[in-house]
Amino acid sequence: MANKGLYTPGSRNAAYTAQGTFDGFPARSPIMASLLEEAKIYAEYDVPILISGEPRLAKSRLAECIHNASPRRDKPFVSVDLSTVPPEYQYDLLFSRSWGGEAGMVTRANGGTLFMLDVHCMSPDCQRQLLSILRTGSYRRKGSAELVPTSVRLICSTFEDLMAMAQRGEWMWQLANTLYGINLRMPPIRETPEDVPTYLEEYLHRFSREMKKQVSLTEEAIQHLCRYPWPNNLRDIEYFCMKAIMLSPEPVVDLAFVREKLLPDLDQGESEQLMHVVASQEELALRRALKEAGGSRNQAAEMLGISRSTLWRRLKKYHLQ
């Protein structure tokens, strides 16, 4: 598990082969499926993209998917987490000729993709250079008036509202406005419960391999976990799976063990809103259709492509009549 600790030059910020692909991205939920379809279209064009949303979402993974579906897929994918880089080091790290014995990130990404996580942490000097790259395809190194041409595809991520920061004078308005031109907002996990089983499976497989202890979840436990809001998004799922593997005395974790040892407060802490978070895709479709139809049964049935009698049976099945 990555540790977001003290900044060490070159330790986390490097060029590597992007692994993420759209085919492998968890997207059982309609919201994420729609987002990925939009991202696939943008990937084909050499335009800057902002990936926004709450902390601890799969933004890096989405950036890799975009790179691997773009015309630059065979070129470098360079990732830098600006939240780990003190502002006074960012300019040299990104734009210098050499940083720690290596070329700056922009130079290393030339021809490929530069992905900047937590771009809201970017220093004012770097913001000006980034805007220059977006506008002119060039930037200036510190202490030089010479323009340095570059060809990079920029993808940024943030969990802050850059426009609000700009209004407060904390960020460049021109840059915020440019980045928000194409903004992919990733929904929090609580809005995509259909994706939870896939994430659980991925993390359990990863940690089972690392800890050399195979553990899985019963279907009943998985359905129960789809109702949980996961307030810290993937970080919560990650720690849940780690605890499940470490604490479970059996190779299969059932609902009773989840309630007793792993998420004991789930039932007690559910709000009225959370009670409407369900795991059944059929029920989710019903709820969404009713909401979009303003409660009209006829319109909901038409949207779902089913008869009124079928709709009535399904509403009765899920106590929605």
- Could you tell me which of 19, 18, 46, 24 has the C-alpha nearest to residue 36? 24
* 310-318 CB contacts, 8 Å cutoff, 24+ apart: 311/286, 314/282, 314/286, 315/286, 318/278, 318/280, 318/282, 318/283, 318/286
Residue type, 107: T
d(CA 145, CA 316): 72
How many C-beta neighbours within 10 Å does residue 247 have?
12
Residue type, 38: E
Paired strand residues for 217:
253
d(CA 234, CA 56): 5
Domain with CATH 1.10.8.60 in the chain: 190-274
Domain with CATH 1.10.10 in the chain: 280-317
In tens, the pLDDT along 86-123 reads 999 999 999 987 656 578 899 999 999 999 999 999 99
Indicate the length of the chain as a whole number: 321
In tens, the pLDDT along 201-237 reads 999 999 999 999 999 999 999 999 998 999 999 999 9
d(CA 204, CA 109): 33
According to CATH, what is the number of the domain 280-317? 1.10.10
- Residue 98 makes CB contacts below 8 A (sequence gap 6+) with 104
One CATH from 3.40.30.10, 3.40.50.720, 1.10.8.60, 2.160.10.10 for 190-274: 1.10.8.60
Paired strand residues for 14:
79
d(CA 95, CA 103): 8
pLDDT reported for residue 238:
96
Residue 185: its H or E element: strand 183-185
User: For 293, which DSSP code?
Assistant: T
- pLDDT tens, residue order, the chain (321 aa): 333 332 233 334 455 678 999 999 998 999 999 999 999 999 999 999 999 999 999 999 999 999 999 999 999 999 999 999 999 999 999 998 765 657 889 999 999 999 999 999 999 999 999 999 999 999 988 877 889 999 999 999 999 999 999 999 999 999 999 999 999 999 999 999 999 999 999 999 999 999 999 999 999 999 999 989 999 999 999 999 999 999 999 999 999 999 999 987 654 444 433 434 444 556 667 777 887 777 788 888 888 888 877 877 777 666 666
d(CA 6, CA 260): 36
pLDDT reported for residue 317:
67
Structure tokens that stand for 86 in this block: 């003190």
Homologous superfamily assigned to 14-187: P-loop containing nucleotide triphosphate hydrolases (3.40.50.300)
Domain with CATH 3.40.50.300 in the chain: 14-187
User: For 233, which DSSP code?
Assistant: T
Give the burial string for 216-229 (b: 16+ CB within 10 Å, else e).
bbeeebbbbbbbbb
